[in-house]
Chain A
Amino acid sequence: MKSRRNVSSRKSILSWVLGLLGLGALSTAYIDPGSGSFIIQAAVAAILGSVLLIRAFWKQIVAMFSRKPKSPEDETPPATPSG
């Protein structure tokens, strides 16, 4: 397991370094991405990315205000005096 993790982390470092260098030479992309498509893609990715971010942020806020009770005793509703 350890050796696998090492290989994996070495690969991540490699991809990070290649990314930093721009990886122009090593890329094997061969299709035409099409003029204008990257502009739309970048805009759509930015919009959808923001939506995801807002959603995650909202979930955290909701979670903060709807903390579940710690023990089953807390769930018992306060006894109402009879009569």
Chain B
Amino acid sequence: MNSRLASSFRDPSGFMFTSGARLLRQINPIYQPHYEHLMASRLYDELAGAGLLVRHAEVDPKSVKAVGAYKVIEPERAPVITYPYEWSFSQLKDAALATLEAHRRALAHGMTLKDASAYNIQFINGRAVLIDTLSFEIAVEGRPWVAYRQFCQHFIAPLALMAHVDIRLGLLLREHIDGVPIDMAAKLLPRRTLLDFNLLAHIHAQAAASKRARGGAGAAADRRQHVSAQGMIALAKGLISAVKSFNWKPDLTRWADYYNQGDSYTSAGFEHKQKLVGEFLKESWAKTLLDLGANTGLYSRIAGGLDIFTLSTDSDPGAVELNYQEVVKRKTTNILPALIDLTNPSPALGWANAERDSFAERYSADCALALALIHHLAISNNVPLPAVAAFFASLSEWLIIEFVPKSDPKSQILLATRKDIFDGYTWEGFEAAFGETHKIQRAEPIADSERRLCLMRRK
């Protein structure tokens, strides 16, 4: 039984569907000349070889009962789908550069990218990869780049706002599913950005031109525009240097010593915790992990070293950024950092609430890792312990969780500015709440600390 993906409806060239456990892409007859050019010009080979485009295999349409298909292809699958509003600054920047590099190389083969949606990029084996094989179109001499405004909305505007105003403005992508509106970006950016050629051209001038061009006369003027082949290459190169010019650096002093703060653990306790995490991961036989509150990814890297694919999440954009930089530096292929606030995870979005799946719908890991997290959920966010236990039970079969008692210095910081209304937040309360949903297999005190590390299995 075939089932079309709810998100795959915009492009008439084809669509994604599932057939049993397989994820396939139908190519419609309208796209035939473009697909043939993509393959015959060897653009596909070049992009796939460079790790810029997802690899695919052709499948006999009859074997999967595809009706009206010109072809059916089976692309390599991403281990988990993440969305642009879940990426750190450098992840969004790398996604933009991958899009532009694919477009630039396409131009050299007589093709162009007909869309530049950030949702067409996924992180596979640690790299930003274009997953929409049908994004390429035979170029028409003189025609401007149809995806220029979309590229600016999905990449230039959010990157500029994150770099020049506030890193948290990346979350505007969650509200605006087709990218941050250019006029909004122009309003929010400081006046000094008028002196930056890239932002003057791609944001401020474009916003002004759009305002002026509304209506039929504007559309007629647009139709008269001509961009030469050299102009298209220059534009692609200009956008590449614009993207490269955006910079944002997290507050390093805040994160550099995070794991070595003396008030959480002694060095013996710190080593003991790492050893226990490794032991518990091996005991669970997990092949996939969801690290919740991963900070800069130290424990995700223990899992990565054990050949466990890890989605390494945190709610702090600085921590996710440093985690991603480390992934790039070490060329790690099995850790994917992502910006997820567990107290408000990504919801289902878009048309019929089905275009972009919620966070919980997208990733089912064998095991979840929740280190130094429970006090943030139960004390900072007031979530009752039974509700925390039920939520974790919905995420994965195995759970490695650290209990941080009220007496712990970190819990005391959270309680310093508020009334203690958490009578049930005790080891006994924790054990009773999680005992309802999980079988607690191990509960080991961490050396020189009042914290405990637990290995649990869902009942």
The answer to whether B228 touches A49 (Cβ under 8 A) is yes
A12 contacts partner chain B, Cβ-Cβ < 8 Å: yes
Residues of chain A lying within 8 A (CB to CB) of residue B227: 41-42, 45-46
Dominant secondary structure of chain A at its interface with chain B: helix
User: When A8-B41, A30-B12 are in contact, do A41 and B148 touch as well, CB less than 8 Å?
Assistant: yes
Proximity string of chain A (17-35) to chain B, C-beta cutoff 8 Å, 1 when within and 0 when not: 0111011001111111111
Query: Is A39 within 8 A of B222, CB to CB?
Result: yes
A38 near B: Cβ within 8 Å?
yes
B248 within 8 Å of A (CB atoms): no
B41 touches A22 (CB 8 A): no
- Could you tell me if A15 and B139 are in contact, using CB atoms closer than 8 angstroms? yes
Query: Contacts of B424 on A, CB cut-off 8 Å?
Result: none
The answer to whether B232 touches A45, judged by C-beta atoms less than 8 angstroms apart, is yes
CA distance A45 to B233 in the complex (A): 8
Q: Please, which residues of chain A bring their CB within 8 A of the CB of B210?
A: 34-37
Q: Whole-angstrom distance between the alpha carbons of A38 and B210 in the complex?
A: 10
Inter-subunit contact A42/B209 (CB<8 Å): no
Q: Is A79 positioned at the interface, with any CB of B under 8 Å from its CB?
A: no
- Bound Cα distance from A15 to B233, whole angstroms: 17
Which residues of the partner chain B approach A30 to less than 8 Å between Cβ atoms?
10-13, 114-115
Evaluate contact between A38 and B110: CB separation under 8 angstroms. Answer: no
Contact B201 A44 (CB under 8 A): yes
From B164-172, B211-219, B319-327, give the one contacting chain A: B211-219
- Give 7 A-B pairs besides A28-B137, A37-B210 with Cβ atoms closer than 8 angstroms: A4-B40, A12-B110, A15-B138, A33-B149, A36-B208, A41-B144, A41-B148
Query: Measuring CB to CB, which residues of chain B are less than 8 angstroms from any residue of chain A?
Result: 10-13, 30-31, 33-34, 36-37, 40-42, 110-111, 114-115, 134, 137-142, 144-150, 152, 182, 201-202, 205-206, 208-215, 218-219, 221-223, 225-228, 230-235, 237-238
| CB<8 Å pairs between A and B, sample of 24 | A11-B40, A11-B110, A18-B138, A19-B142, A26-B33, A28-B34, A31-B10, A31-B147, A33-B146, A36-B206, A36-B211, A36-B213, A36-B221, A37-B152, A37-B210, A40-B202, A40-B205, A41-B225, A45-B228, A45-B232, A46-B231, A48-B234, A48-B238, A49-B234
